Amino acid sequence: MSELLPWQSKSLSRLQARIEGGALSHALLIEGRDARSAEMFAGMLTKTLVCQQEVLGGCGECRSCELGLAETNPDRWAIKREDEAQIKVESIRELIEWSQKTTQIGRVKVAVIEGCERMNRNAQNALLKLLEEPTRETYLILVTADPHRLLATVRSRCERVRLGQPSDEEALNWVKRRLGDSDHHLASEALAFAHGEPLAAIEAISNGLAERLVEIDAALCAWFESEISSLELGRKAMDLAEPKDIYTLLALRLRESVRTEVRPAHEVKASSGIASQLQGKSSWQCRLEGLALVENAWSQSKTMTGLNQALHLEATLINLERVLS
């Protein structure tokens, strides 16, 4: 998927003006809260850079654009996010070797490193050499959702481009348009679950996760009403989703229920039924304590090796029940 996301168009136009003026830095660090959105932006920037007509997003007609579309353009180099869990020094050496070759088709060469925070220390040190002695006509675009995992020396040698987020309304409209139907509820639930990231929301809807989370929500309601036990809720949730999604959903519902207490009513979006149900059930102090408990349990679930996830979730739910009652 490669397209210009509407909320990124201003940032891209600003960079395009700099390309036209010959004033764009040779090393850019594209930072976005959502990795996929940032990668899309990097894709559009690359197309703009390699296009012989310098058209925003590429003209689609010149030789560079044609090859670019087929991803066989020798002037482009990419380390994809799905390629490897860790980027090792060998990959960076190959990139440096490529950067020293002359351009084959267009005026410039462009290398993109998606998920650049995956570079290990040696890889980052090797990259520093390229950043310190940039090759003429070569642009290096680093993309990340987690810039703090990069060495400070790498960050400081790049021009940082921090991508903006869509407004809640813009995000919801985009997701609904993309879905091609008007399932307002599912779109807005998926967005809340994805912390307002439209691409992550679309993914949750397309892979069926959003609908399964609605089922877990229903089980949560029944649990709050003491219609099912913590054991039953835990089993049902584990049948429907991964631990990370279950803890994210629990934390989301608790956070929603606390948010209304600390913000003026007009700033708060309509909360889910569960948030209101929680508000009627326990004090905000208890819900805040419950949120800390869930976040702590999720952190243990991620980091403890050999943990029985089903038992861990069940214990968390029993503790949460105690805190909330």
Using CB under 5 A as the criterion, which residues of the chain lie in contact with Zn ion when the complex forms?
51, 53, 58-59, 62, 65
Between residues 107 and 149, which has the closer beta carbon with respect to Zn ion? 107
Give the nearest distance from C-beta 69 to Zn ion in angstroms: 10
Tell me how far CA of residue 102 lies from CA of 97, 143, 235, in angstroms.
11, 24, 59
Alpha helices in the chain (DSSP H): 9-20, 35-50, 63-70, 89-99, 121-132, 152-156, 168-179, 184-193, 198-206, 209-224, 230-240, 243-262, 273-281, 284-303, 309-324
Instruction: Give which of 253, 289, 259 is closest to 272, Cα–Cα.
Output: 253
Give the nearest distance from C-beta 68 to Zn ion in angstroms: 8
Per the structure block, which two tokens stand in for 45? 């920037």
Between residues 46 and 248, which has the closer beta carbon with respect to Zn ion? 46
Residue 269: DSSP 8-state: P
Give the nearest distance from C-beta 21 to Zn ion in angstroms: 19
Between residues 50 and 150, which has the closer beta carbon with respect to Zn ion? 50
Give the nearest distance from C-beta 31 to Zn ion in angstroms: 27
Q: How far is CA 247 from the centre of its chain?
A: 18
Between residues 22 and 264, which has the closer beta carbon with respect to Zn ion? 22
Give the nearest distance from C-beta 45 to Zn ion in angstroms: 14
Burial status of residue 103 (CB atoms within 10 A of its CB: 0-12, 13-18, 19 or more): middle
Residues 204, 306: Cα–Cα separation, whole Å? 28
Between residues 51 and 313, which has the closer beta carbon with respect to Zn ion? 51
Gyration radius of the chain's alpha carbons: 23
Between residues 68 and 115, which has the closer beta carbon with respect to Zn ion? 68
Give the nearest distance from C-beta 57 to Zn ion in angstroms: 9
* Residue 312: its H or E element: helix 309-324
* Residue 261: its H or E element: helix 243-262
Instruction: Give which of 61, 63, 57 is closest to 16, Cα–Cα.
Output: 57
Give the nearest distance from C-beta 99 to Zn ion in angstroms: 22
Between residues 58 and 166, which has the closer beta carbon with respect to Zn ion? 58
Residue 79 dihedral angles phi and psi, to the nearest 5°: -110, 110
